[in-house]
Amino acid sequence: MNSTDKKIAEVLAKFGEPMAGNVWRVQGTAVIYHKALERIAAQAAIQFEPPTIVRAERDEAVILVTGRMGERLEWSIGEALVGTNYRVSGKQAAYVYAMAEKRAKDRVILKLIELHGLVYSEEEADEFKNSRPLPPEQQVEGEKTVVEIVAPDNQVEAELKQKISKAKTINAVTDLMLNPDTQRVLNDLPEGIRDEVRDFAKARLVELGWPSKKAA
């Protein structure tokens, strides 16, 4: 684990969140789930002031958000412009205001917990979501589509939990959960099962001494 990952892991641990299962990497950039930041905001008792609308158009929203954590105050801008930094497909509705607010709040949270610039919210850019590896059944090899038989979700869940159980150190669990192959498998699972696997990984980390003991 490099110094940046150690810093991220230490800060997240303060708020009861492990790095494993909450953070992944896109071309070397650490990315954290929006849900994890919401949980951290609740743990840190971060209070947000009413947002200020900077720009309001049909396909664009720019929102200023200010947040407080104790005596500290931080603010940030959230932007969402359809076709530029916010893409929608088909008949999907464009919720530019909601996206702009999410981005601004996530940036404020990261500033307040002093991780801004080290890790980014998944809502920061569509590329963070779209850059995740495709599931095997969608991968294309030359002009042929590679089709694989995918195991049932409960079997995949059981196999992941078995691997987590076999991990003997905190770092081993973290490395397993950050592995691109593990991230691909997790992203293909239904949200409920995915959350259950992450909770199982967190429980294993606690069993190994996280966060009170130093990673072995």
Using alpha carbons only, give the angle 117, 28, 109 rounded to the nearest 5 degrees: 30
Enter the pTM of the model: 0.73
Please indicate, yes or no, whether residues 114 and 173 belong to a single structural domain of this protein: no
Q: In the predicted model, what is the mean pLDDT of residues 86-113? A: 89
The alpha carbon of 191 is separated from its chain's Cα centroid by a whole number of angstroms, namely: 13
Q: In the predicted model, what is the mean pLDDT of residues 39-51? A: 96
Please indicate, yes or no, whether residues 120 and 141 belong to a single structural domain of this protein: no
Domain-ending residue, one of 131, 161, 184 = 131
Please indicate, yes or no, whether residues 113 and 141 belong to a single structural domain of this protein: no
Contact 64, 54 (CB under 8 A): yes
Task: Please report the pLDDT score of residue 124 as a whole number.
Answer: 85
CA distance 102 to 85: 14
What is the pLDDT confidence band of residue 140, given thresholds at 50, 70 and 90?
very low
Domain-ending residue, one of 97, 131, 165 = 131
Q: In the predicted model, what is the mean pLDDT of residues 56-85? A: 94
Domain-ending residue, one of 131, 150, 173 = 131
**Domain, as residue range, for 171:** 136-216
Task: Please report the pLDDT score of residue 65 as a whole number.
Answer: 97
Please indicate, yes or no, whether residues 98 and 179 belong to a single structural domain of this protein: no
